Homo-oligomer: A and B are copies of this chain.
Amino acid sequence: IAKDMAKLLEMKAQLGGDEGKHKFVLKTPKGTRDYSPKQMAIRERVFSTITSCFRRHGAEVIDTPVFELKETLTGKYGEDSKLIYDLKDQGGELLSLRYDLTVPFARYLAMNKITNIKRYHIAKVYRRDNPAMTRGRYREFYQCDFDIAGQFDPMIPDAECLKIVHEILSDLQLGDFLIKVNDRRILDGMFAVCGVPDSKFRTICSSVDKLDKMPWEEVRSEMVGEKGLSPEAADRIGEYVQLQGGLELVERLLQDPRLSQNKLAKEGLGDMKLLFEYLALFGITGKISFDLSLARGLDYYTGVIFEAVLLQQENHPVEEPVRVGSVAGGRRRWGLWGLPDSPEFVLFTPLGLILFTTKLMGLTYRVLDGSASEEKIRTTETQVLVASAQKKLLEERLKLIAELWDAGIKAEVLYKKKPKLLNQLQYCEDTGIPLVAIVGEQELKDGVVKLRVVATREEVNVPRESLVEEIRKRTSQ
């Protein structure tokens, strides 16, 4: 028996050994990605377009830690709480990675007793979702939030939010777009006058929300069949939710015999009228559509809701037509931000705007990659390579490049004592550097530098003292 036992133990050890010896895999965690220099170039282009716009509108910027106390996130996300990444308890505080930027923002305002702020925050958030990475969904992804918190006269900040979305989508040049707007009060009033019982508002609302993917007939039968709404009520809803338009539609509905009797609807329509008047002053009503079927996630929101969608891109035909859907959304949030076991409640009513940056980055990448234009995605901004024609002259190259750096010119030099001219030119072709400043024995004698335009192979001798000026002139667009 002892012998058998020993044999078994040995076998077990062997097995255990093999089991333990798994192959190390060189990868990033599930649902995450690296950004290569090329992807970073896209990301910086998109972010810089977005932040320039926020800056143009006088926004400040804040940042918060990547993790929060677990209890700060507790009770904020309902069902989705299971997607939160918790940190291991290592004998300190219980921590979780942030799930969005809204709760940290609310925590920041409450902690610092701030009631008035217009801020943006672009940062990564974390969700243990089952990512569909091919469709651009990740477990670690960027959110880009812009919020105006404070009490103001109605619809002025709301109009500015829509102007901001309009500016950003125009600046990103992703093709034509439409911004749909609606108002929670109009929806609630509409449901009431159509005869939807209070208890069914939420579920009927989520049916209405499917109208951008389903025809009305299907939505109607879901309401009546699955959700038990009376056919009459459904038909009345159908009359409204298929309406889209501008100021004239708002005015027509203000005269609507049913809606005009409902206090909430009247208030919402009154504000919507005001909003369209402001949007007209901003000159952007052409791309705004008052759409009674827009009803996204209404739980925490009062007031205005909006959502921007890209229309089919004719200028940038995409090989595999994917459903782009919405690229930005916004709503006025209203609510008390509850702190458990605390007498303090915080009134948290920012007007929020979220840009779906991963989508925007992906689209920009495709547009740039597929564009017929000459524009290549460069990963550096180098204006000029300092090269030598002869195989020595490293010292002269270093002297010249220091002059250029000190003058603020973006310049590179190959880290070789004796590089071939051909290799230096090839490097420019590969990396998109537009100019080469060539030093040679003759040029040094003459006090000039030979400046070569990589694209055209044109060469001119430039006096050394005007080289910086010449490079600037030739590389400024």
Contact = CB atoms under 8 A, between A and B. Distances in A.
A274 to B, nearest CB: 10
B402 A281 contact: yes
A457 interface: no
B29 A59 contact: no
B60 A26 contact: no
Interface string A392-407: 0011001100100110
A398 B85 contact: no
Interface string A163-180: 100010000000000000
Interface stretch (A31-39, A216-224, A298-306, A319-327): A31-39
A30 to B, nearest CB: 6
In this complex, the interface size class of chain A, counting residues with CB under 8 Å from chain B, is: 35 or more
A140 interface: yes
Interface stretch (A103-111, A328-336, A434-442, A464-472): A103-111
Contacts of A140: 65-67
A56 B409 contact: yes
Interface in A51-98: 55-69, 71-72, 85-90, 92-93, 95, 97
Contact of A417 (B60, B65, B153, B340): B153
A473 interface: no
A54 to B, nearest CB: 10
A29 B65 contact: yes
Given A34-B62, A66-B66, A26 B339 contact: yes
A163 B62 contact: no
Interface string A262-294: 000000000000000110011100000000000
Given A64-B34, A140-B65, A398-B278, A58 B119 contact: no
Interface stretch (A7-15, A310-318, A362-370, A377-385): A377-385
A137 interface: no
Contact of A128 (B63, B92, B126, B415): B92
Nearest to A342: B24
Given A60-B380, A381-B55, A65 B22 contact: no
A167 B382 contact: no
A85 B87 contact: yes
A24 B346 CA distance: 14
A145 to B, nearest CB: 14
Contacts of A24: 71, 339-342
Interface string A343-369: 010000000000000000000000000
Nearest to A412: B58
A86 B69 CA distance: 15
A40 interface: yes
A246 interface: no
Given A27-B69, A64-B34, A55 B416 contact: no
B56 A410 contact: yes
Given A92-B128, A399-B281, A62 B40 contact: yes
A124 interface: yes
A477 interface: no
A60 B415 contact: no
Contacts of A278: 398
A267 to B, nearest CB: 17
Contacts of A408: 56
A28 interface: yes
A379 B230 CA distance: 55
Nearest to A119: B37
A194 B368 CA distance: 62
Contacts of A395: 277, 281
A275 to B, nearest CB: 12
Given A56-B409, A398-B278, A416-B152, A65 B34 contact: yes
A56 B92 contact: no
Given A58-B382, A63-B40, A398-B281, A29 B111 contact: no
A181 interface: no
The 7 A-B residue pairs whose C-beta atoms are closest, nearest first, are: A152-B415, A37-B60, A32-B65, A58-B412, A35-B63, A86-B88, A281-B398
Given A24-B341, A85-B88, 4 more contacts: A21-B341, A26-B107, A56-B405, A90-B128
